[in-house]
Amino acid sequence: MVLNQATLKRDGVQDYVSLRATALIIAAYAVFIVGYLALTPELTYEAWSGLFDNLAMKAATIITLICIMVHTRIGLWQVLTDYVKCSTMRSVLGFVLNLMALAYVAVGLFVLWGV
């Protein structure tokens, strides 16, 4: 039983809800992109660029990138705590993999706003 609710640590319910919410957002974005690819008769650079010139699409992409990072962080934490027993190795792997997830979002932002 949790006695101190003022801590900044997560709990299982928050992780569960976060995973499900981010998965729904990622799935909705993927369905939209697949639908766009399927319904666009001739996919050219101009069509693709026009899609991502829209501010709503840029916002949806940023939100999805952040959701991918949150989803990855929680999943990595769960997998690493279950399968890597050495705390030093778990910390190093967690740091490197979380840094890679952050770099993924940073590169996505540069690509998205660099157009």
4 within a domain of the structure (yes/no): no
51 within a domain of the structure (yes/no): yes
Cα–Cα distance, 105 to 101 (Å, whole number): 7
Q: Is 104 annotated as a binding residue?
A: no
Cβ–Cβ < 8 Å for 82, 42: no
36 within a domain of the structure (yes/no): yes
- What's the chain's average pLDDT? 89
Domain of residue 102 covers 13-113
Cα–Cα distance, 26 to 17 (Å, whole number): 14
- Model pLDDT for residues 21-68, shown as the tens digit of each residue: 999 999 999 999 999 999 998 999 999 999 999 999 999 999 999 999
Q: Is 29 annotated as a binding residue?
A: no
List the CATH number of the domain containing 78.
1.20.1300.10
